[in-house]
């Protein structure tokens, strides 16, 4: 029985994950939740180029481990697995499985023992094939989304597009995303509701499960106005920015888009511009020693009140400007 667990399900517009090692000495399980489809879309857009050299390195460490039975090579293999898991948490299932396999291998001295074939226990191709297989699934998954889910196309129904897509590409099996059987259960969640729960065996199960969920729910998708990536429309059909792409500060396009819209709106707001101009002018007085910080913050609190009055029509724009100009 594996000494780890990984389960996931979708409910109430979010996706939930619980994973980690099990046993008396194990750390608490990791729990994660995200807006629905974000985990999938981040995987479909994950840059796999940094991992192109990983298969050869993993294979080299595996061969050294088999030949020398020295623990240092098992640690090298764990290092590559850690890098994958850090790139995207879907790879936690791969890391957990192989940590478990390597521990079992260590228990038998990295040699055939107790009826266990070490080569069967450590099938390296299940890791070395990952970058190329993920590249292919990314290509097929995104092609399916573009062909079937584009919300801005009004020509056909969702089911018609889906049927046409698979019918048209039936003879080109390498070009379509092929759904496979998944290890899914149906369980009571937190004593409140039932949901399909996936117990993935591989990272491919996670991609398959969540893309299938999107298709079953007939979700629509749109290209983000900021990054150009496809994202699922799960709330407003007018959404223009995604939760998928993160910048160097961890901000999503949706967050950056909201700031951009706010800035554009305020740039056309005469009341706000007057308030902001006077705010900056008086703030500079603090450095010049003309006013104290306490005086400035008392003034800014009153200025916000006066601005609110102007926005609501209690005072005119000219009256607000006159108030701002007072010493």
Which is higher by pLDDT, 237 or 192? 192
Mean pLDDT of 260-267: 52
pLDDT band at residue 155 under the 50/70/90 scheme: confident
User: Can you give the pLDDT at residue 174?
Assistant: 63
User: Can you give the pLDDT at residue 289?
Assistant: 82
CA–CA separation, 137 and 204 (whole Å): 8
The residue behind tokens 């909201």 is 258
Task: Report whether pLDDT(248) > 80.
Answer: no
User: Can you give the pLDDT at residue 262?
Assistant: 45
User: Can you give the pLDDT at residue 57?
Assistant: 97
Q: What is the pLDDT of residues 268-311, one digit of tens each?
A: 577 777 888 888 888 888 878 888 888 888 888 888 888 888 87
Q: How many Cα atoms occupy the beta-carbon half-sphere of 282 within 13 Å?
A: 22
Going from N- to C-terminal start, the domains of the chain cover 1-223, 269-324
Which is higher by pLDDT, 251 or 302? 302
First to last CA, the chain: 77
Strand partners, 4: 21
User: Can you give the pLDDT at residue 149?
Assistant: 93
Q: What is the pLDDT of residues 101-120, one digit of tens each?
A: 999 999 999 988 888 899 99
Task: Report whether pLDDT(236) > 80.
Answer: no
pLDDT band at residue 173 under the 50/70/90 scheme: low
User: Can you give the pLDDT at residue 170?
Assistant: 65
pLDDT over 70, % of the chain: 92
pLDDT band at residue 167 under the 50/70/90 scheme: confident
Mean pLDDT of 150-178: 83
In this structure, of 25-29, 107-111, 208-212, 265-269, the range with the lowest mean pLDDT score is: 265-269
- Angle of helix 54-68 versus helix 130-148 axis, rounded to 10: 150
Q: b/e string for 149-174 if b means 16 or more Cβ within 10 A?
A: bbeeeeeeeeeebbeebeeebeeeee
User: Can you give the pLDDT at residue 298?
Assistant: 84
Task: Report whether pLDDT(258) > 80.
Answer: no
User: Can you give the pLDDT at residue 138?
Assistant: 95
User: Can you give the pLDDT at residue 247?
Assistant: 63
Which is higher by pLDDT, 6 or 326? 6
pLDDT band at residue 171 under the 50/70/90 scheme: low
User: Can you give the pLDDT at residue 292?
Assistant: 85
Q: Whole-model pTM? A: 0.77
If you average pLDDT over every residue of the chain, what do you get? 88
């Amino acid at each position: 029985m594996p000494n780890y667990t990984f389960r996931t399900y979708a409910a109430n517009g979010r996706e939930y994950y619980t994973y980690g090692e099990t046993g008396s000495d194990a750390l608490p399980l990791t729990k994660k939740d995200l807006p629905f489809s974000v985990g999938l879309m981040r995987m479909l857009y994950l840059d796999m180029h940094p991992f192109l050299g990983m298969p050869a390195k993993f294979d080299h460490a595996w061969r050294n481990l088999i030949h020398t039975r020295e623990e240092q090579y098992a640690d090298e293999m764990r290092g590559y697995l850690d890098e994958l898991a850090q790139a995207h948490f879907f790879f936690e299932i791969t890391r957990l499985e192989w940590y478990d396999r390597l521990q079992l291998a260590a228990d038998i001295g990295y040699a055939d023992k107790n009826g266990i074939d070490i080569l069967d226990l450590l099938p390296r191709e299940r890791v070395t094939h990952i970058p190329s297989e993920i590249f292919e699934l990314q290509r097929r998954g995104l092609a399916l989304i573009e062909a079937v889910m584009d919300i801005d196309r009004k020509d056909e129904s969702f089911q018609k597009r889906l049927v046409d897509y698979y019918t048209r590409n039936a003879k080109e099996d390498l070009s379509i995303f092929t759904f496979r059987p998944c290890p899914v259960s149906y369980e009571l969640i937190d004593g409140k509701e039932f949901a399909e729960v996936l117990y993935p065996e591989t990272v491919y199960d996670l991609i398959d499960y969540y893309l299938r969920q999107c298709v079953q729910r007939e979700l629509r998708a749109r290209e983000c106005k900021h990054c150009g990536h496809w994202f699922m429309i799960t709330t407003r059909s007018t959404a223009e920015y995604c939760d998928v792409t993160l910048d160097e500060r961890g901000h999503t396009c949706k967050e950056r888009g909201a700031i951009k819209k706010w800035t554009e709106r305020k740039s056309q707001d005469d009341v706000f511009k007057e308030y902001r101009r006077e705010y900056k002018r008086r703030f500079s007085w603090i450095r010049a020693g003309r006013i104290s910080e306490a005086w400035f913050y008392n003034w800014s609190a009153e200025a916000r009140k006066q601005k609110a009055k102007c926005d609501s029509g209690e005072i005119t724009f000219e009256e607000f400007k006159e108030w701002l100009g007072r010493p």
